[in-house]
A and B are shown apart, each in its own frame.
Chain A
């Protein structure tokens, strides 16, 4: 048959018949669907435990380590392999839920880019070594005979808690050093500082369930703030019977913002002024009593009248008054401040203005309660921040450090280029990286110690924010180590301590022995349910955590001085850079997990890439369309990325996601997208010393490069009239459903 003359109908006929033929014959073709015999080895157990049945999963409890929220996890283990992670139903933190980062824990564990053996720097290159050589090197540099003493030594870690923190402190003490830098890029240090100063509790308990309205200034509590899975459940309670109202004020829409009833874009950095303007509205329109506040604060609130706040924030007076009306109507409320309020030179003052609203509205003691005290303070998490990153960079620059141990943090990636950490780190003669992956910092280390994954290791975790409970989360190995040359963090800590204080730690063969000892030393009141020490330990492992309770306490209300600067334009750099974090890639630590690269950004739906988010008005001003390359330049550097256009951003703001732009960190992360942290100006919050992450001003320039498409799900922001999700206007809803109580 001449293929040119083949008609469509004939083609379909042929395809139909050949399809039937393939279907009938295909079911019996052994070469295509069966497995070849004798190729694969099937290993039996030598002598299995009685409860082990191949093919049937056994569940073990442990604690998630993908962020510092400390969610409880149940891992399904089959044939000695962990296959699937789910939330622990008993955990008061996540109550059986688990986010996509937690689910991806297995990809951290089975990642093909794990560091498998210790590595020692020889010249420019890291070469594989044995643990014997590594420990010998460590002993010569940090052991008793090394002469290392005092602040010449430092630990640089992520948030750390539990008995790992105890051992870490003991190690610092043994060396006589106070240098423990705890670094997290995604943190709430500003909120903690203000809460501590104004309420007397750095991590007060937030009662979402009691609040009828939440006003959030850029707090992405459903995505990246403190304990997202915990807050998502709390949010569920808040949204049901009666339905609470969520108002979000932020320059770039977050996941939480996308869930809000009313989303308002303010000019970046004006959150404090908006909060004071709302306070002003409450006083002038609803005569809220502020006579208890100090005179200067009363004056301050009076000075932020509607006109002034409109000018500063760029928000309409109507919108601001709508927030005021709703706050008055729905009581009690809860007002929160997040990264986009904290990230400025005046971040502390903005958060203080937000907390002031809570005080004026009577939320303190109602929806904000004291979390009480944890009975074992030495176990409570040291939460990370960026002021420690700056302090670390300074210590490195001052050549004040001889030896640095780095665990969990990746400062070379997360530090702005302006700090010059990448080059300056060379000034530290001996850098040790405790890591599972060859990240940017490990690549610079003189000694790389391969760590067991968290699913292979022991640990205890006490998170800083605990909602009314006091639990020690237990981390236990779910399976044997994949790579026998990796070691648990606690095991290495014991080895390090033995180098300094052999006598005190010689009784512990490993970290497990230390933990058993520590749990044996717990007060017997905690062991009432168990018949024996062994039973107590097994019960604790089975549950995945130990509830040790909290003492009750109450909050104080102290007003701090608030001094907000006037908003200033910058002619050279007219736009504000908003580095946006998301539940997924987080601060970049999960860029090496394909599942999370593949999971689209919750707002832009982009996969496997970074982008520049612009308001349609800004885009048309620049003459760019989606996929066009533009350069974002700050005073400290520039990056290039593709444009994504969306209405959920202030026209003065430019959003660039965190997480991509890795120069190292394995096959899935390396050389993909850009890292906005690199071009941040080294500006700090004057009160807290935190890096002002949102204070960088930038200029934009369209690049004369060929247009390329941005790979993302969807392709349209609207339903194009297809009514996939039916909607009605608020007016219609009120008419049909009656009353306006349900409507924000």
Chain B
């Protein structure tokens, strides 16, 4: 029950913010005051300014998943954050299929037959490649078999068919369900991915409400 109450609080507060925006035009002093508070907040907390996803209200809910031991401790932060590689460069199937897909080993080796070949993780990767075996990755994010979730449709709604949304910022959309993976090494489950989690987002963003959309 507590989560449900939280969600209603969030919904109502977001509506209040909307009305505040209207008042800025009437009272410039209020705007300056708010700006001052915002700048003060930025200075006091080293928060990274996150790119906005227009026309979207992110789903609400948190989860503290287990630390999953992977065959190679893949550093998402080096790829996605430091080197700014787009999520969909490796998870290329996300925009084409229901699954995002673990990238084929050939994709890793496309870069890593040249880059960072002396690093222990890459040496391990090369061992797998030479054995003609993909690393046995462990699944972190999953929904039950009776749930039909498709990455393709969600990316279409929030990225490709979303006016004003930049494809470069796709990681913000991925983060709706996967959290800030670009700050992680191996993926860690931080969103509950329960039906309630899905439903709240569908309600907030006017997603389909029919049972059979997900349960076919």
Contacts and interface: CB of A to CB of B under 8 A. Distances in A.
Nearest to A44: B102
B143 A48 contact: no
Interface in B100-159: 101-106, 129, 132-144
A54 B96 CA distance: 9
A46 B143 contact: no
Given A27-B196, A33-B144, A43-B136, A55 B104 contact: no
Nearest to A38: B68
A296 interface: no
Contacts of B136: 41, 43
B67 to A, nearest CB: 8
A41 B98 contact: no
B105 A47 contact: yes
B139 A48 contact: no
Contact of A44 (B3, B4, B137): B137
Given A42-B102, A46-B104, A55-B99, A34 B66 contact: no
Contacts of B15: none
B50 interface: no
Contacts, number: 105
Which bracket fits the contact residues of B?
A: 35 or more
A37 B197 contact: no
Nearest to B150: A55
B142 A46 contact: no
A28 interface: yes
A38 B139 contact: yes
A46 B144 contact: no
A728 interface: no
A41 B197 CA distance: 25
Contacts of A48: 104, 106
A53 B93 contact: yes
A552 interface: no
B14 interface: no
Interface in B186-214: 189, 192-197, 199
B194 A38 contact: no
Given A38-B138, A43-B137, A27 B102 contact: no
A35 B194 CA distance: 10
Contacts of A40: 138-139, 142
A41 to B, nearest CB: 5
Contacts of B65: 37
Interface residues of A, number: 26
Contact of A29 (B129, B133, B139, B194): B194
A22 to B, nearest CB: 12
A40 B145 CA distance: 13
Contacts of A44: 101-105, 134-135, 137
A43 B142 CA distance: 14
A54 B140 contact: no
A25 interface: yes
Interface in B40-78: 61, 63, 65-66, 68-69
Contact of A25 (B1, B69, B142): B1
B143 A34 contact: yes
B132 A54 contact: no
Contacts of A571: none
Nearest to B71: A41
Contacts of B135: 44
A34 B105 contact: no
B69 A38 contact: yes
A24 B134 contact: no
B143 A56 contact: no
Given A28-B197, A55-B99, A37 B137 contact: no
B97 interface: yes
Nearest to B94: A55
B98 A38 contact: no
A45 interface: yes
- Central interface residue in A28, A45, A46, A56, by most chain B CB within 10 Å: A28
B199 A27 contact: yes
A38 B66 CA distance: 8
Contacts of A24: 1, 4
A30 interface: yes
A44 B136 CA distance: 8
Contact of A28 (B101, B134, B138, B196): B196
B138 A35 contact: no
Nearest to B98: A55
- Central interface residue in A37, A39, A41, A43, by most chain B CB within 10 Å: A37
Nearest to B106: A47
A28 B97 contact: no
A41 B137 contact: yes
A103 B102 CA distance: 31
Contacts of A25: 1
A25 B101 CA distance: 31
A53 to B, nearest CB: 5
Nearest to A28: B196
Interface string A14-28: 000000000011111
B130 to A, nearest CB: 11
A47 B107 CA distance: 8
Nearest to B152: A55
Contacts of A30: 63, 192, 194
Interface of A: 24-30, 33-35, 37-48, 53-56
Interface of B: 1, 3-4, 61, 63, 65-66, 68-69, 93, 96-99, 101-106, 129, 132-144, 189, 192-197, 199
30 contacts: A27-B196, A28-B3, A28-B4, A28-B61, A33-B144, A34-B142, A37-B65, A37-B66, A37-B189, A38-B68, A41-B138, A41-B139, A42-B102, A42-B138, A43-B137, A44-B102, A44-B103, A44-B104, A44-B105, A45-B106, A46-B129, A46-B132, A47-B104, A47-B105, A53-B97, A54-B97, A54-B99, A55-B97, A55-B98, A55-B99
Given A33-B194, A42-B138, 19 more contacts: A28-B3, A34-B193, A37-B138, A37-B141, A38-B66, A38-B139, A40-B139, A41-B136, A41-B138, A43-B102, A43-B134, A44-B101, A44-B103, A46-B105, A46-B129, A46-B134, A47-B106, A48-B106, A55-B99
